[in-house]
Amino acid sequence: MIEREIKLMLTEEEYTALAKSVCRHTSANIQTNYYFDTDDLSMNKKGITCRIRHKNGIYKATVKKHNSDGAECSIETDICEKSEFDPTVFNALGLRFQGELVTERLKLYDNAFCKAVLDKNTYLGKTDFELEIEYCEAHKKKAGVCLENIANLLCRYGCVSDKKQFSARISRAKSKSQRFFEEKN
């Protein structure tokens, strides 16, 4: 499956403003990513994430290849789904458990064309905040409109003074796994 997304790191102030204004009647969904790699983290260095994600009582093992040219897409291949955590799933690849990242996810917007979520991520003693907008290729413009609406809202709340500067953060946003492994290193 090809996943297309706009990812943007938020400050805690921006996250809180969006959560309070848009998601005040929504409860967070919790998901945990368990990351696997070689001892020298060679998979991560190649832009490949091997993880087991626990979400809604299911543990799904996935290999995700991140696009190295800065494009907003990655390719995910599901390996298996189980009802309990099985750290041996990636043993055949010579990988071992490296740690976990817990995400508290709030839904900002969701329709057939585009989904926008706020994530509060906790890993290795660190917490960060991000906005993710997932979309299908045919609706890339709608994802851009969604991002602009969010930027307008943050300007209205005084969290952002320059929408262009806010949008410029997109190209600098790293994936959850990249941030996890940078912190681990």
Instruction: Give the model's confidence band at 24: pLDDT under 50 very low, under 70 low, under 90 confident, else very high.
Output: confident
Question: Which helix (H) or strand (E) segment is 18 a member of?
Answer: helix 12-22
Query: What is the bridge-based pairing of β-strands 48-55 and 58-66?
Result: antiparallel
Q: What pLDDT was estimated at residue 64?
A: 92
Mean pLDDT on 98-120: 92
Q: What pLDDT was estimated at residue 68?
A: 59
Q: Is the dihedral of CA 75, 79, 85, 88 positive or negative?
A: negative
Q: What pLDDT was estimated at residue 72?
A: 62
What secondary structure letter does DSSP report for 20? Answer: H
Tell me the pLDDT tens digit for each residue of 149-185.
999 999 998 998 888 888 888 877 888 999 999 999 8
Mean pLDDT on 90-110: 94
Mean pLDDT on 28-34: 96
The helix, strand and coil proportions of the chain, stated in percent and rounded to the nearest 5, come to: 30, 45, 25
Tell me the pLDDT tens digit for each residue of 36-94.
999 999 999 999 999 999 999 999 999 999 875 545 678 889 999 999 999 999 999 99
Q: What pLDDT was estimated at residue 1?
A: 59
